[in-house]
């Protein structure tokens, strides 16, 4: 009996600590959310502080993830700009964290109280306490460290993926043509403007013949449209042709307006349209009409938010001219208009959208199935679709969840070659 009261003390102390943590951290978490999401535009003026602030915000949103699901179920809102939904989400998320902490402390105490009918020698009891503390504390540290890494470091670990793709009927003058694909920058509350600029600078340093952009330039909020278009304009200022289609997030946020802003800055927006590339003495040039020796680059509307119309994009392209198609969503390769009998020739489709799944659990695959109807098939890399090859990039930014784990961001360099040739 004398040992009963001390045993209750740790749990009471833990409950007090959990309550204080909830009361202190919930307003802090809510404030971070308001700063980065509801009034996210103001963060544009804090760069390069955004390199720190945005990952911090992503970590907060990751830790409180259950709360956002609860807010969605109760209030039918993700809380991007809804203050009530945001407050509910932050409070619910912190509650879940505190309850989890109390449960973990309870498990620890239960293990330490086991076999009390046979008191252990002091040395053995001390050893067991050390092991239990190491397992619970060390396990928590590993999980916490992994979350910090996934929210703060891995989303900034930009890579360059390189592919060499053979193209039938590729004109000799275009053999070795290099494209750099940039996709899913998602300028907004989750991705720092300076990080996107870092990706664009890496792309420019590759000195390709053509830049191709495959959508989702903004995440959420009309206030991001002008900054996104202005930032992408740095590609045009290099003198290198820059060709783009829009993604589902662009259409969420007034795709027509964004298209106008991109065109105003010299970017060729080709949703359900096409251009022809040819090489001249001054480099690669673009034309809206077929050239004797050229390559067609066509765009398709976003699969979920716009009309997919390959007839409009490819109806007058001579059969002998190879075609590269830009389509934000790789599932477009399965669209009935592309796989029907007599469908248009497509030599290669360039896509983004899946972000490579963003999270890959060894032995279980990625989260690509959350955004693709075909699961891992269109997660990342060069794959064979029903009628054409599809190259999917992991993209630069983040979407569904504000983390990356074993799926680093990337830009893609594609070298086009004629069959059996070396660029």
Could you tell me if 86 and 94 are in contact, meaning their C-beta atoms sit under 8 angstroms apart?
no
Short-list 107, 137, 167, CA closest to 415: 167
- Output the tens digit of pLDDT for each of the chain's 423 residues: 454 444 555 557 777 888 888 888 888 888 877 777 654 444 445 555 567 778 888 888 888 878 877 777 777 666 555 677 778 888 888 888 888 777 777 777 777 666 555 666 777 667 666 676 677 677 777 877 888 899 889 999 999 999 999 999 999 999 999 999 999 999 988 898 899 999 999 999 999 999 999 999 999 888 899 999 999 999 999 999 999 999 999 999 999 999 999 999 999 999 999 999 999 888 899 999 888 889 999 999 999 888 899 999 998 899 899 999 999 999 999 999 999 877 899 999 999 999 999 999 888 888 888 899 999 999 999 999 999 999 999 999 998 788 999 999 999 999 999 997 754
Q: Which pLDDT does position 359 carry in this prediction?
A: 93
**Cα-Cα-Cα-Cα dihedral sign, residues 262, 317, 291, 166:** positive
Query: How far, CA to CA in Å, does 260 sit from each of 86, 188, 224, 264?
Result: 33, 19, 14, 6
Q: Which residue has the tokens 């969503």?
A: 329
Both structure tokens of 29? 């978490």
**Coil, strand or helix at 282:** coil
Short-list 401, 344, 393, 345, CA closest to 213: 393
The answer for 277, left when phi > 0, alpha when psi is -120 to 50, beta otherwise, is beta
Q: Which residues contact 79 (CB under 8 A, 6 or more apart)?
A: 33, 37, 68, 71, 85, 86, 88, 89
Q: Which pLDDT does position 370 carry in this prediction?
A: 85
Domains annotated for the chain, with CATH where assigned, are 4-154 (no CATH), 160-417 (3.60.21)
Both structure tokens of 287? 């034309």
Could you tell me if 203 and 211 are in contact, meaning their C-beta atoms sit under 8 angstroms apart?
yes
Both structure tokens of 259? 């298209």
Q: Which pLDDT does position 1 carry in this prediction?
A: 47
Helical H segments across 3-121, by residue range? 4-33, 50-63, 65-75, 83-113
Burial 248-284 (b: 16+ CB within 10 A, else e): bbbbbbebeebbebbeebebbbbbbbbbbbbbeeeeb
Q: Which residues contact 291 (CB under 8 A, 6 or more apart)?
A: 276, 278
């Amino acid at each position: 009996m004398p040992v009963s009261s001390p045993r209750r003390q740790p749990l009471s102390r833990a409950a007090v600590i959990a309550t204080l943590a909830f009361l202190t951290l919930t307003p802090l978490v809510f404030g971070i959310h308001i700063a980065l999401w509801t009034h996210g535009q103001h963060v544009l003026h804090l760069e390069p502080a955004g390199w720190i602030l945005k990952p911090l915000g992503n970590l907060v949103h990751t830790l409180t993830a259950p709360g956002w699901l609860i807010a969605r179920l109760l209030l039918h809102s993700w809380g991007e700009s809804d203050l009530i939904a945001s407050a509910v989400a932050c409070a619910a998320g912190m509650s879940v964290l505190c309850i989890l902490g109390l449960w973990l402390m309870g498990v620890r105490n239960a293990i330490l109280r086991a076999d009390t009918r046979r008191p252990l020698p002091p040395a053995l009891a001390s050893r067991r306490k050390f092991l239990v503390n190491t397992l619970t504390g060390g396990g928590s540290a590993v999980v916490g460290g992994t979350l910090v890494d996934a929210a703060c470091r891995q989303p900034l670990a930009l890579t360059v993926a390189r592919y060499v793709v053979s193209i039938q009927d590729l004109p000799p003058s275009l053999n070795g043509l290099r494209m750099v694909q940039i996709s899913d920058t998602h300028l907004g509350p989750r991705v720092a403007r300076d990080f996107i600029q870092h990706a664009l600078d890496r792309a420019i340093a590759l000195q390709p013949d053509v830049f191709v952009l495959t959508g989702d330039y903004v995440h959420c909020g009309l206030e991001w449209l002008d900054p996104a278009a202005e930032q992408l304009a740095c590609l045009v200022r290099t003198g290198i042709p820059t060709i783009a289609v829009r993604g589902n997030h662009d259409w969420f946020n007034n795709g027509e307006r964004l298209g106008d802003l991109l065109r105003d800055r010299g970017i060729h927006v080709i949703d359900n349209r096409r251009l022809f590339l040819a090489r001249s003495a001054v480099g690669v040039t673009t034309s809206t009409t077929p050239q004797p020796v050229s390559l067609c680059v066509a765009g398709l509307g976003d699969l979920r938010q716009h009309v997919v119309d390959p007839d409009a994009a490819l109806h007058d392209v001579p059969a002998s001219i190879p075609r590269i198609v830009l389509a934000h969503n790789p599932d477009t390769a399965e669209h009935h208009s592309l796989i029907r009998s007599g469908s248009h020739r497509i030599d290669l489709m360039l896509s983004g959208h899946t972000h490579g799944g963003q999270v890959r659990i060894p032995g279980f695959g990625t989260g690509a199935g959350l955004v693709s109807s075909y699961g891992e098939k269109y997660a990342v890399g060069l794959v064979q679709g029903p009628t054409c090859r599809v190259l999917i990039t992991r993209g630069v930014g983040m979407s569904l969840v504000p983390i990356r784990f074993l799926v680093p961001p990337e830009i893609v360099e594609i070298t086009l070659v004629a069959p059996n040739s070396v660029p």
